[in-house]
Structure 1
Amino acid sequence: MAEHRVGDVRPTQLLHTYGVGAMVDLPNIAAMVMGLDDWKLQYATPVGEERLLAAVRGQLGPQVERLMLPPVDLDESSRDPLNGPRIGVPVAAFPQWYRCPWCDLVAPLSSGLFELQSDPYRPDRVRYRHVSCNRSPNPPAVLPTRFQLACKHGHVDDFPWLQYVHSGSTNCNGPLRLRKMGVGDEAANLFVHCDSCGQTRSLVEAFGDTAKADPLFACRGRRPHLRDFEPGGCTEHAETMLLGASNSWFGISLSALSIPRHSDPLPQLVEDKWVMLQLVTSPEVLVAFRAAGNMRGLEEYNDAKVWEAILAKRSDRAKQEASTNLKEPEWQVFSTADPTRNTVDFELTPVAPPVGFESFFEKVVRVERLREVRALVGFTRIDSPGDYADPSDIPPDMRAPLSRNAPTWVPVSEVRGEGLFLQFKRDVLLDWAAKNMGRKSEFLAAHAGWKMARNMPNPTDGFPGLRFALIHSFSHALMRQLALQSGYSAASIRERIYCDDGTGLPMAGLLLYTAAPDSEGTLGGLVSQAEPARLGALVRQALDSMQLCTSDPLCGEHRPANDGTASLHGAACHACQFAPETSCERGNKYLDRSLLVQTLGNSAVPLFL
């Protein structure tokens, strides 16, 4: 099968926006990113991050061997677009049905009515043309139809145009026309017409209660990214969805920070270079590696010591993989903040707490340099995985697989940047939480009601606690203020909340950071705000901005709802607390600015009086 380059996306988008199973809406065509079985690994780059690999194995199984950066053509400018290798991510046309804007013909690509026109020098000009159109003097470019079917079990399918216009199975094969009869583009103005038998049907019937009662919309269990169907079929009812809808694909990902795990330099160097050193199977191989110049950074250690460290790493690996908790080791490194353990990918400098808030914070840490690796382990459709506290809580029938067989590798992104870590005094938070048991009950009831409305088992499980809501709300308040002062946009600042649920390591803190794929990281705009007097002023401004909201009194009087709605927040809205999707860990849930400061209609005891 011929391969054509059809467009470009950034490597990080392959995890957040256009991952496996996602649809890429290009200028003239629409394509779906194919499963890992179709990827060419010879152009991918292995990445070392042992903690993340252990967590991925906990999700997908012990057969996962590697974390890989997606294939990227680093020499694109000098490569022959006609005869050079096809380096990139494989995609296939989806949906398969296209429409001619001149004659309104709707037909699948398999009909042979549309011809692919490629341009190796201008991938953005790749298109299908209607070669037999009788309305246009030249074969016009056709566009993908804007409707598709999707279900909550991760399946997606072409809209059943032929069966839809005939209200079921039929022997009539069209041709079909999709016509607009009105000034707007809403479904009520779109009609499918069969030229052969004269049947016409409005697309408004493809939505709402009419579609729910129509057996035509029973899901077939199709998985286009794997080129197959669900082996056991699907019992879900499919929903009509617009091409490019924001809920058509949600990536399930795990991320880890590259933290130092050893106090001695040699074991840490072996850890950092394990992607290469794991190939060393004997002292003789080690000698060959050194002769080939593959031992940079280890020149001051002789072969015997390096081999001993490699053996120690292998024997310790099983113990390291026994725990898949990603945040507790990070918390231990941040809370101790030992500069002597800094590495090339992780550099900390402890500073004094913010001026005026010494009674609330244990310490502040300038994270001068950090590295984050994020792995894609699956995806969902319609329902977001952010609704679950942990990816392992997502029901198996909701998770769409990345490959037909159990994957032996997963795609990752690698970014470097900087950040601020703030550690609360845990005893202060415990005393505060004891004064707000009523508000805790409200959040717990809303959490349980939300889970019951979605038929999720154990309604009270996974409740992060009121202290989490406090730290989370403070994180969003400070994030907004940092966006005004640091020069970074709100969407480029991410949070990482460290809060225990009473069963694990005691934690109470947050990391706000920004990162970029560039090997040099970012420009220092966040760490420059960590100076105690400056950070104290920032915290004060952030808290002052939380006292009033432009949506008050409606926002200030809002309470978490226990009726199963999406309202898992108190006094919070887009005008005061909500953050961009890329920034928030919990999908803007468990937020309440009245936990921080006095607000209109406040019934809680705020921490910062």
Structure 2
Amino acid sequence: MNMPDESAILNKVTHSVRANQLIHQFGVGAMIHFPDQVLMSAAPEFWESDVTPIYDERLANRLGVRYFGLPISVEGDNGKHRMAYVRFPQWYYCPKCKRLKPMDEWVKEYRIKASDAEKDNDPYMVKDPHCPSCGKHWKLVVSRLVTICEHGHINDFPWIAWAHKRGKDKICDHPQLKIYTMGTGRYGFDNILVKCETCGSLANLSGIMDKELFEKLDNEEEQRFKCPGNHPWKRMKEGCDCYPRVSLRGASSVYFPVVKTSLVIPPFTTDFNELIQLTDAYDRGFQNYCKAMEKNRGEDRIQEIIEDTTEEIVKELANSNIKEDAIKEQLKKSWMNQDENAEEDMDEDQRFREEEYDALDGEAPNADASNFFKREEQKIEPYQETIPSLKQVVLIHKMREVQALIGFSRINPVSGPDDKDHFVCIKELTTDWYPGYQVLGEGIFIRFDELQIEKWISQYKEKLSARANTIKDNYAKSFYTINGKQTITVKFLFLHSLAHALIRQLSFECGYNIASLRERIYCDKGDGTGKVMTGIFIYTANGDSEGTLGGLVRQGYKETFPDIIKKAIEKARYCTNDPVCSLSKGQGIYSMNLAACHSCLLLPETSCENFNAFLDRGVLIGTMDDTEIGFFSKGFDTYKNK
């Protein structure tokens, strides 16, 4: 693993992270806490160019890139790690001599005092950060404090300016800082003192978590504490007129990743194009194609690359009887498709979900033509004997999901696709790929009878709408947005809450850990636009290398699944926090849940695509003061067709 500034190769064992973590909590622009130091994931432009490519034509077209890159190779124990880091935070202190200064000054001291052998082995003190004066036994300790601003910048805490903040103190010419613990009975930051040994200026850290701290300290003549506009993950600074906030480097508000996910589905993927994409010739040709596009080589060069790649693929697949013309046409479709048939007036996310919905329920053309998407539709009559409202049950024996990291924000999550002031894109405009990760797994897709749901909603319209409007109002007042602007309807609350109840029950039945299961909700907006959708897809989020262990799909057969639904609903009727939970008028983040808490419906946040928001047991089983409004309040045969 490389650092773009010092280009040091770090230990693969001690400085490795899982591939999926590089797309989520430890993505580009996030700090990673290793045993000896804290590093920040660098921009994709610093990664080695031969990242393992991941192909998903549908998601790539949506995001305007050509492919996705996995920074860790898949070559087994000998695989090469291609991730790059930068050093951040820069400020470290020695616990023995108490000196506090940026790493480049520690390195200068190290290069003076270290032996030639040490400097040859670790010229920039990347592998073993220690105090050059106190010896290797005294490891340098990274600063716990950083400053962040709403535009996504992150900077070191202004230690020098803070030490000289008293009155009209001017910063001395050669500040030398030390940090002390006063030990006077105080606690927290009040007990920490920063002192300049050169001029004697000092200040403790009292009040540093005040949101308007720096704005109060600055004056018109001198503005020491404005945001420097630092993006250390890509080694650049830009202008910023904000006053930043102080934060602990491990606080959740420091990094909110923006991740887009996609199911790789027919007709966008088939056995034929997957066979082609798995060849070495395809990877080489695709890399040449991307380079040609970057340099605007022209159509003649593109056609030449396609011709050459086709010949190499034919040789590699000599025993498969695939025609050369078919390969050539597939390459043109995969590389040069611009999604010209997309409906401009349709919401992009809605169209994306509708395509997946059609593949899951079998309406998509060639729905069974992919080796990475294997579906088995069940006869619905045995299920309806217990759950009359079910309309379709489909077992997905094999599926592939692609996750792409496109950006992040700090302080608050981005408020939607148009929130350009807070959203920070992780790549340059000329870079034609995003960091990506894929998982092979299995799942269960269920679809409910739309007419029965409409009948239930119309019967209790006033009370159900009031509950949905409460969540909708709290959502509108918040600064929180999940996967774009979510449309809150009674049907969506029903599907989402039921998905959580099912995941909690399935985790007891199938052998997968609850954090290994994920949901995908298919619900229309209820405004008459687009396809009517009433479905839930529950799938494994981290299957093994073969794609599935089979434990989840096995629970979807008629002998077991109806009872699992019954158990899930019965468990949802009772919560150890009742009556408080059942009668809640708003709980969870920004009060965007009603009757839902950690004892009854909440899941690990990796399992919920809405991060545990928009949940309500009341729409499933009613509430303690209104027991009849839930869809399953009166039993499972209440809405059985007569």
What range is the shorter-chain TM-score in? 0.7 to 0.9
| Equivalent residue, structure 2, for 1:82 | none
TM-score (norm 2): 0.81
| Equivalent residue, structure 2, for 1:253 | 259
Query: Cα distance 1:461–1:481, how it changes in 2: closer, same or farther (>3 A)?
Result: closer
* Structure 2: runs of 5+ lacking an equivalent: 1-5, 112-117, 219-223, 290-301, 634-642
What is the CA distance between 1:427 and its match in structure 2?
Answer: 1.5
Mapped to 2, the partners of 1:405 and 1:24 lie a distance apart of 26
What is the CA distance between 1:340 and its match in structure 2?
Answer: 6.9
Query: Cα distance 1:28–1:604, how it changes in 2: closer, same or farther (>3 A)?
Result: farther
Native 8 Å contact 2:178 2:195 kept in 1: yes
Mapped to 2, the partners of 1:24 and 1:118 lie a distance apart of 25
| Equivalent residue, structure 2, for 1:18 | 26
| Equivalent residue, structure 2, for 1:237 | 243
**Are 2:539 and 1:487 equivalent residues in the alignment?**
no
The residue type paired with residue 208 of structure 1 is D
Mapped to 2, the partners of 1:416 and 1:226 lie a distance apart of 32
Native 8 Å contact 2:145 2:247 kept in 1: yes
Greater displacement, 424-433 / 499-508: 424-433
The residue type paired with residue 552 of structure 1 is D
Query: Cα distance 1:268–1:599, how it changes in 2: closer, same or farther (>3 A)?
Result: same
Mapped to 2, the partners of 1:428 and 1:217 lie a distance apart of 60
What is the CA distance between 1:307 and its match in structure 2?
Answer: 3.6
**SS at the partner of 1:127?**
coil
**SS at the partner of 1:18?**
coil
**Are 2:587 and 1:594 equivalent residues in the alignment?**
no
Query: Cα distance 1:217–1:507, how it changes in 2: closer, same or farther (>3 A)?
Result: farther
| Equivalent residue, structure 2, for 1:161 | 159
Mapped to 2, the partners of 1:468 and 1:277 lie a distance apart of 44
How many residues get paired? 576
**Are 2:552 and 1:541 equivalent residues in the alignment?**
no
What is the CA distance between 1:451 and its match in structure 2?
Answer: 3.1
Mapped to 2, the partners of 1:263 and 1:492 lie a distance apart of 25
| Equivalent residue, structure 2, for 1:146 | 144
Superposition pairs of residues 86-101 of structure 1, within 5 angstroms? 87-101=81-95
| Equivalent residue, structure 1, for 2:340 | 319
Superposition pairs of residues 168-567 of structure 1, within 5 angstroms? 170-171=171-172, 173-182=174-183, 186-208=188-210, 211=213, 213-215=216-218, 217-230=225-238, 233-261=239-267, 281=303, 285=308, 288-290=311-313, 292-294=315-317, 299-308=320-329, 310=331, 317-319=338-340, 324=348, 325-336=351-362, 341-353=368-380, 354=383, 356-385=385-414, 392-393=417-418, 395-434=419-458, 435-454=460-479, 462-502=486-526, 503-516=529-542, 518-560=544-586, 566-567=590-591
Native 8 Å contact 2:593 2:615 kept in 1: yes
Mapped to 2, the partners of 1:128 and 1:559 lie a distance apart of 52
Percent identity over the alignment is 28
Query: Cα distance 1:145–1:314, how it changes in 2: closer, same or farther (>3 A)?
Result: closer
**Are 2:9 and 1:4 equivalent residues in the alignment?**
yes
Mapped to 2, the partners of 1:313 and 1:485 lie a distance apart of 40
Deviations 1:479-515 (A, max 9, x none): 1111111111111111111111032211111111113
The residue type paired with residue 133 of structure 2 is S
**SS at the partner of 2:161?**
helix
Mapped to 2, the partners of 1:455 and 1:492 lie a distance apart of 25
After superposition, the CA RMSD in angstroms is: 3.4
Superposition pairs of residues 64-103 of structure 1, within 5 angstroms? 64-72=65-73, 74=75, 77=78, 87-103=81-97
Deviations 1:206-247 (A, max 9, x none): 1125626333543222111121122xx223331111122222
The residue type paired with residue 178 of structure 1 is I
Native 8 Å contact 1:350 1:366 kept in 2: yes
Mapped to 1, the partners of 2:102 and 2:29 lie a distance apart of 20
Native 8 Å contact 2:472 2:488 kept in 1: no
Superposition pairs of residues 99-114 of structure 1, within 5 angstroms? 99-112=93-106
What is the CA distance between 1:302 and its match in structure 2?
Answer: 2.5
Query: Cα distance 1:330–1:287, how it changes in 2: closer, same or farther (>3 A)?
Result: closer
What is the CA distance between 1:528 and its match in structure 2?
Answer: 0.9
What is the CA distance between 1:130 and its match in structure 2?
Answer: 0.9
Query: Cα distance 1:267–1:414, how it changes in 2: closer, same or farther (>3 A)?
Result: closer
**RCO higher in structure (CA 8 A, sep ≥6):** 1
The residue type paired with residue 186 of structure 1 is G
Deviations 1:502-535 (A, max 9, x none): 3221111111111336430131111111012311
